[in-house]
């Protein structure tokens, strides 16, 4: 048995960003198959454009078109591409100085490894349907392949509305490992047991167990098995739908202080109308059928009221 | 200015840490080590500051969970930076300079092995123009390495010599290895490392109480270069040069440089004007061990420890953050 439990974890979300006037102009240009740069106060053309002058810090507003053909200033070969890069087979990243620009732009370059060199001439390869995003440039390619796209203005798409925002999906892949204490807790759950740990210094019992007692900063060493019943200390009624929600709203999410524990245990309260849940209510776990158990807190479907009289506030006021 | 010294240092690094992203299990023994070094307890610490990033291992609010390792009841005076803990140390140093506190404990931690580190680091780039392309950290460093080769500032052999100076490998053998991100080979890139580091700062008599030879901070500077890669001359490091300008580096004996790629050590040596009389990276440097969010702070700890043990009387530590040496910090320490 390994020391800790692990599982793949994928974190995915979209960054939805509004654009200021400069980047809006740049992205709109890309949608229309034109690369734009900004002119700085010293007369240089910077691509991609800057919102503020790097020397005087003045706001920059003048956008000027540059060529979609340029020269490689430096490059590297991505021998092992990672997820979501512009190409899913080995390719180059390069800083390319477009004709008419004074600073280079970073992008992928699709060219054979043995033909790559600093100084090589390359051109933009546009995607079929530009949207107003940096990925409208699919990549650069050697300039000799096809005629460069010089007549961009004649090929503008119908819309003239400026691009005012971008959406960038982010997908991150991890191998998530639980701490040794959490692993013991999850392994206990797979056997229908609730395992906490006691701080050797202050004697407080934590469930799920933590790597250290948050009061004393020392490892919690002694294992303590806890009953699957306790009291609701505090709770909230969830009325807001959100992505990935598994339970019908409204539902009650509560801190349950298991008997003998010193910290609330987060779980669901069901088997009672949401508006009848109250602080001090005594509850017990409702487990899924044993053949569905795993190393997960979902083995407990929810907690339900036991019907016993509520606990006195004085008995749990220190655990809120 | 108040006299402030580094008086405690502990670290733990490994290729792969089998534990939670909050790394509480790793931090507790590090803090215990610091209490042993100083004879202090947590109540002696006036300010706590940490460096970490949730993106590294995909655990939200990991820095909040990590404070369990401190024991925060009653509450402590605490802060966090999403940077290497060297910058957390800078914040702590400023806090002590304000006179509000006399002591600080600074720590950094990171579990880089949980994801694909070079890819995760694309999230620190311009979110409009760069992150959508996922330019990985190794590729960006490789663009910098080639720019220097093209300009004649170094060659592949010079990079291999940097690597060989730490690993003891033969330069010819290193050059026979395949390219990973041409012109960089895998050995030119710091190994993915998990780990944590922790340091204690103290002012005046509090420092003298703990160490016979405290490592007094006589200069602490950091600078950043533009986030626009195209605007940078990647073969030089103006931010390093700018940070060094106010420092008196005369008589420097040891420099601990945070250069996660072999060619970056050459850039740093040039910008800092480091000559043959200065021992560079007696700790072994970061090519073998580069725990994200603590490697820079660990350089400061290593340089401080050489003052404590009498090996040197003037040492410099450098930390970097961001793509291709974008941000650089220098901490100069001296015996008195």
B56, B120 Cβ separation under 8 angstroms:
yes
What pLDDT does residue A148 have? 52
Q: Which residues of chain A have pLDDT under 50?
A: 153
pLDDT tens for residues B283-335?
999 999 999 999 999 999 999 999 999 999 999 999 999 999 999 999 999 99
Mean pLDDT, chain A, rounded, equals 93
A242, A273 Cβ separation under 8 angstroms:
no
Find chain A residues with C-beta within 8 A of B133's C-beta: 85-86, 106-108, 134-135
Mean pLDDT, chain B, rounded, equals 97
Residue A46 touches partner B, C-beta closer than 8 Å? yes
Q: Residues B250-260: what's their mean pLDDT? A: 98
A232, A255 Cβ separation under 8 angstroms:
yes
Residue A180 touches partner B, C-beta closer than 8 Å? yes
pLDDT tens for residues A222-276?
999 999 999 999 999 999 988 888 888 899 999 999 999 999 999 999 999 999 9
Cβ–Cβ contacts within 10 Å for residue B1, how many? 7
- Among the partner residues B24, B136, B234, nearest to A211 by beta-carbon distance: B24
Q: Is the dihedral of CA A103, A108, A114, A120 positive or negative?
A: negative
Q: Residues B269-282: what's their mean pLDDT? A: 97
Q: Is B51 helix (H, G, I), strand (E, B) or coil?
A: strand
Q: Residues B186-198: what's their mean pLDDT? A: 98
- This complex has an ipTM of 0.95
Question: Is B18's CB within 8 Å of A210's CB?
Answer: no
Question: Is B128's CB within 8 Å of A176's CB?
Answer: no
Residue A90 touches partner B, C-beta closer than 8 Å? no
């Amino acid at each position: 048995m390994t020391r800790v439990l692990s599982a793949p974890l994928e974190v995915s979300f979209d960054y939805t960003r509004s654009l200021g006037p400069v980047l809006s102009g740049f992205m709109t240009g890309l949608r229309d198959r034109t690369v734009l740069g900004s002119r700085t106060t010293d007369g240089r053309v910077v691509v991609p454009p800057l919102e503020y002058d790097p020397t005087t810090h003045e706001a920059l507003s003048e956008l000027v078109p540059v060529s979609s053909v340029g020269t490689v200033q430096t490059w590297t070969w991505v021998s092992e591409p990672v997820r979501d890069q512009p190409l899913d087979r080995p390719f180059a990243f390069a800083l390319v100085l477009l004709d008419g620009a004074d600073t280079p732009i970073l992008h992928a370059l699709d060219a054979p490894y043995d033909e790559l060199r600093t100084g090589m001439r390359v051109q933009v390869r546009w995607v079929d349907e530009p949207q107003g995003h940096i990925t409208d440039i699919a990549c650069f390619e050697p300039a000799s392949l096809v005629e460069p796209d010089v007549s961009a203005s004649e090929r503008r798409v119908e819309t003239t509305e400026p691009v005012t925002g971008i959406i960038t999906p982010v997908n991150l892949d991890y191998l998530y490992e639980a701490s040794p204490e959490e692993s013991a807790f999850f392994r206990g759950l797979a056997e229908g047991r609730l395992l906490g740990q006691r701080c050797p210094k202050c004697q407080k019992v934590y469930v799920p167990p933590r790597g250290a007692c948050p009061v004393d900063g020392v490892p919690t060493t002694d294992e303590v098995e806890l009953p699957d019943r306790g009291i609701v200390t505090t709770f909230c009624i969830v009325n807001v739908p959100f992505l990935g929600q598994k339970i019908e709203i409204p539902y009650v999410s509560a801190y349950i202080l298991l008997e003998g524990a010193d910290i609330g245990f987060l779980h669901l309260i069901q088997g009672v109308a949401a508006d009848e849940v109250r602080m001090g209510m005594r509850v017990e776990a409702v487990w899924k059928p044993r053949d569905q158990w795993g190393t997960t807190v979902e083995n407990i479907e929810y907690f339900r009221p036991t019907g016993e009289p509520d606990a006195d506030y004085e008995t749990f006021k220190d655990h809120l | 200015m108040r006299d402030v010294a580094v008086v405690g240092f502990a670290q733990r690094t490994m290729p792969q840490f089998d534990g939670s992203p909050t790394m509480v299990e790793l931090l507790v023994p590090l803090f215990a080590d610091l209490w042993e070094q100083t004879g202090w307890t947590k109540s002696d610490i006036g300010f706590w500051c940490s460096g970490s990033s949730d993106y590294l291992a995909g655990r939200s609010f990991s820095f909040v969970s990590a404070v369990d390792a401190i024991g925060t009841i009653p509450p402590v005076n605490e802060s966090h930076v999403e940077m290497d803990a060297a910058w957390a140390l800078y914040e702590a140093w400023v806090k002590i300079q304000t006179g509000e506190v006399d002591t600080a404990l600074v720590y950094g931690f990171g579990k880089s092995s949980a994801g694909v580190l070079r890819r995760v680091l694309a999230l620190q780039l311009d979110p409009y123009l760069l992150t959508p392309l996922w330019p990985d950290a190794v590729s960006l460093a490789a663009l910098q390495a080639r720019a220097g080769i093209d300009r004649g500032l170094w060659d592949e052999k010079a990079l291999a010599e940097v690597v060989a100076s730490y690993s003891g490998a033969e330069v010819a053998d290193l050059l026979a290895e395949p390219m990973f991100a041409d012109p960089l080979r895998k050995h030119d890139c710091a190994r993915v490392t998990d780990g944590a580091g922790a340091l204690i700062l103290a002012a005046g008599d509090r420092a003298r109480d703990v160490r016979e030879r405290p490592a007094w901070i006589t200069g602490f500077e950091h600078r950043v270069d533009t986030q626009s890669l195209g605007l940078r001359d990647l073969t030089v490091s103006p931010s390093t040069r700018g940070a060094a300008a106010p420092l008196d580096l005369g008589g420097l004996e040891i420099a601990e440089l945070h250069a996660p790629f072999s060619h970056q050590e050459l850039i740093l040596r040039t910008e800092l004007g480091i000559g043959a009389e200065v021992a560079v990276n007696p700790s072994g440097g970061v090519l073998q061990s580069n725990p994200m969010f603590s490697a820079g702070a660990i350089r400061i700890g290593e340089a401080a420890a050489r003052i404590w043990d009498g090996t040197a009387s003037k040492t410099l530590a450098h930390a970097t953050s961001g793509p291709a040496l974008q941000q650089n910090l220098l901490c100069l320490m001296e015996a008195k």
